[in-house]
Amino acid sequence: MKNANSILFILILIIVPSFFVLTCFGQSKDEADDLINYVNPLIGTGGGGNVYPGPTTPHGLVQLGPDTDMRNWSDGYSYDDSVIIGFSMQHLSGTGIPDLGDFAFVPSTGKMKFVPGMIEEKTKDGNHYSFNPDSGYCQPFSHKDEVAKVGYYSVRLPKYNVLVELAATPHAGIMRFTFPKSDSSNVMVDISHVLQWKVIWSRVRRLSKTLVTGFHLVHGWAAERYLYFAAEYSRPYDNFGIMLDGKRVYYNTYRFRSKYEATGDDIQYYTTYNTEKNRVVMVKVGISAVSSANALQNLKAEIPGWDFDKVVKDCRSAWEKEMRKITITGSTAEKQTFYTALYHTQLDPTIYEDVNGEYRGLDLNIHRAKGFTKYSIFSLWDTFRAEHPLMVLIHQHEDADMINSMLAHYDQSVEHLLPIWSLYDNETWCMIGYHAVPVIADAIMKGVKGFNYERAYNAMKTTAMNPHYDNVKTFAKLGYVPFDKENESVSKTLEYAYDDYCIAQTAKKLGKENDYKYFMKRAMSYKNLFDPTWKLMRAKDSKGNWINPFDPYKYSRTITEGTNWQYTWFVPQDVQGLINLMGGDKYFSTKLDSLFMKNKQDEEFDVGNSGQIGGYWHGNEPSHHIGYLYDYAREPWKTQSLIREICTKFYYNRPNGLCGNDDCGQMSAWYIFSVLGFYPVCPSDNFYVIGTPGVKEASLHLWDGKTFTMNAINFSMENKYIQSVTLNGKKWDKTYIPYDAIDNGGKIVFVMGSKPNKNWGTAPESVPPSVSKATIN
């Protein structure tokens, strides 16, 4: 997902460093062969990936790390920035909109500052923000002093000569500050620190010389988000103070006020220490969306002592286990790109419950997750495409619990809707469609266990029948969303139709024949917006008139983040039907060719250095399946060439190695699938469309311990074309792989070559399934 702002960010980011050497970091001998060593968390931190470099556990609630900015990046960090504001507890991974960045921990020596030093400049292009260490507590830093690896981040801040090291557990973080000799080595905590948005209320309470708790309520992208913390210090402080609204909180002798607590909307507190050279002070911080008591419980459960290195080690072990889900044969660079992508797919959704099982739900009440692990951060418009399908292959238990979490959301929704874009159990209503549906449908269709199908089906159906949400009701009535009633009406029509296809498939599986028919009819609604003249999707008003004027190359308010040229292809449930509408394979593939050509529409549509090939925009999700569509038109070699081009051009092992927002793992999950040689073009259908393998060998260790292996004979960068395939020992001429052939374990062997084999996968019966049958060939 990419919002309008992020496009601006990307334009700013065109000037990315052209040279980057991967930071080397020390490792013990027995870790030398670990796959986590190929992960470089700095990949994607520049150039628009909007991922964060700090330590986190797989799906951890805590993402501890540096913030180099509070306004411009959704994750708070850009490789191109030159100051660090502080180290905060939570970060989003590659979203289009900023939030989180809770509580800035800022080390220093001597006199402290309590404002970050943000300079706001108003220009006619809008407000611009920069950070000046002379004006506040932000400090310059250099990448040569920075180490980012799995489970560990460190940076030496030269201004006060403080070494900062960070590590994380699921619900807590630990910071190790190595100070110089000073009579005032400080750890200042800005409770009002949050990315972009506003702290509405906050509190701090000093419980002892080594324990402080607090909270803030943030009105942000998540409209009402509570975060509590408990910070324990390795050493009793020498001095302690609280700042409220820029003033020191002191003992008042008129009407008593304690200097040990404060409540308000602008609070900082600090502890200071008299330190000898290289003296270490550690702070460990538990967080919770429920209460400071839970934050402390989380902390005590996960970091009982002060063994920083053990926290690093445990985190790295957990990630190593994750990385071993997929082993590949490839160059170091290939492995770095691949494992960093795999790492990015296992960040979100995050655990959203405390160690005692409590969480703050959509209804803001405190619930206890019974029988499942509660997750949040559901960027579903993005992640239904490849992120969740990847979870189905390697983490079915977790995927089921993510679905259970969505069902809990549904139960608590005033609109009886499944989550659209849920952030810490706030519904942000971001993006369009109801894409919890394909996630759930995909799991049901693939037999994922661990949630109740009937309950889930009821939630899916009720969501699709909602009388208020974004003209779904009108869609059901007219067969399309009219542009005079609703923005982004073309995108919504196409996505509703797809989501409804998913419901129909589930209805059929669950024996609900009438529902199947009803939703299949809705699934075919895409046809209503196909303009046979333009051979493109085009908006209609409620009276059935085509929109005029019509410019399919431009960003349009009838399209979600893109152009009609891009969105026309979103009929994953019935690509053959689209081919038929276009007049057959040849017309279809010619039209598709035009999308990838650098021509007029490319000039009209320019999203900067953000994954463009002609009018195709890999930097945003609506394009993600398009490269695979040539398979349906029996020109699979074009898919093979394109997928190879995208994999190598838009994914690499440098800070700007992601061409667009990672969107909670979707951008990376696309890569993982594509490197393996296949992709879930239509989640809820039980097949994957074949692209081209991106490495020589890969083993996919499935959720239940089985293994599916991929071999690419004659693999090289030049040999990007599939010559032939065997699946589980048998010759395979289809351009798709049934789910069963993977899920039961097995083996696919690609034989590669430098020239297209136009005889492979081009028979009429080779193409991936669609609802419609071919009518013209």
Residues binding a second copy (CB under 8 A): 200-201, 203, 205-207, 213, 215, 217, 219, 223-224, 251, 253-261, 263-265, 291-293, 363-366, 414-415, 420, 429-430, 468-471, 485-487
User: Is the CB of 224 or the CB of 238 nearer to a second copy?
Assistant: 224
User: Is the CB of 98 or the CB of 746 nearer to a second copy?
Assistant: 98
Closest separation between CB of residue 341 and a second copy, Å? 30
**Edge to edge, what strands does the sheet with 239-244 contain?**
65-67, 86-88, 104-109, 182-190, 267-275, 239-244, 247-248
- Residues near 157 by Cβ (< 8 Å), separated by ≥ 6? 84, 107, 139, 140, 141, 145, 163, 164
User: Is the CB of 219 or the CB of 747 nearer to a second copy?
Assistant: 219
Closest separation between CB of residue 503 and a second copy, Å? 19
C-alpha 422/C-alpha 446 separation (Å) is 24
Tell me the three state secondary structure of residue 345.
helix
What count of residues does the chain have?
A: 777
Q: Which helix (H) or strand (E) holds 459?
A: helix 453-464
Closest CA to 446 of 670, 628, 683, 681: 683
Q: How buried is residue 52: exposed, middle or buried, by Cβ count under 10 Å (0-12/13-18/19+)?
A: buried
C-alpha 353/C-alpha 289 separation (Å) is 8
User: Is the CB of 297 or the CB of 609 nearer to a second copy?
Assistant: 297
Closest CA to 537 of 770, 472, 546, 522: 546
C-alpha 168/C-alpha 171 separation (Å) is 8
Query: Do you find a cis peptide bond into 549, omega within 30 degrees of 0?
Result: yes
Torsion, Cα 61 66 68 74, to 10 degrees, reads: -10
C-alpha 153/C-alpha 165 separation (Å) is 6
C-alpha 495/C-alpha 475 separation (Å) is 11
Beta-strand pair 225-233/211-219: antiparallel
Mark residue 720 as left, alpha or beta (left: phi above 0; alpha: psi -120 to 50; beta: remaining). Answer: alpha
Number of other residues whose CB lies within 10 A of the CB of residue 100: 29
Q: Which helix (H) or strand (E) holds 601?
A: helix 600-604
Torsion, Cα 693 339 36 303, to 10 degrees, reads: -140
Cβ pair 610, 617 in contact under 8 A: yes
Q: Which two tokens stand for residue 643?
A: 């997928």
Number of other residues whose CB lies within 10 A of the CB of residue 29: 6
C-alpha 396/C-alpha 385 separation (Å) is 16
Q: How buried is residue 208: exposed, middle or buried, by Cβ count under 10 Å (0-12/13-18/19+)?
A: exposed
Closest separation between CB of residue 252 and a second copy, Å? 8
Map tokens 């002609």 to a residue. Answer: 614
Number of other residues whose CB lies within 10 A of the CB of residue 362: 20
Cβ pair 496, 560 in contact under 8 A: no
Q: Which two tokens stand for residue 304?
A: 């009982």
**Edge to edge, what strands does the sheet with 326-329 contain?**
326-329, 697-701, 707-713, 746-753, 721-727, 730-731
Angle at 595 between CA 594 and CA 597, to 5 degrees: 60
Q: Which two tokens stand for residue 79?
A: 């490789």
User: Is the CB of 362 or the CB of 689 nearer to a second copy?
Assistant: 362
Amino acid at 85: I
Q: Which helix (H) or strand (E) holds 207?
A: strand 198-208
Helix 666-676, helix 636-650: angle, nearest 10: 130
C-alpha 205/C-alpha 662 separation (Å) is 37
* Cα torsion 333, 337, 338, 343: sign: positive
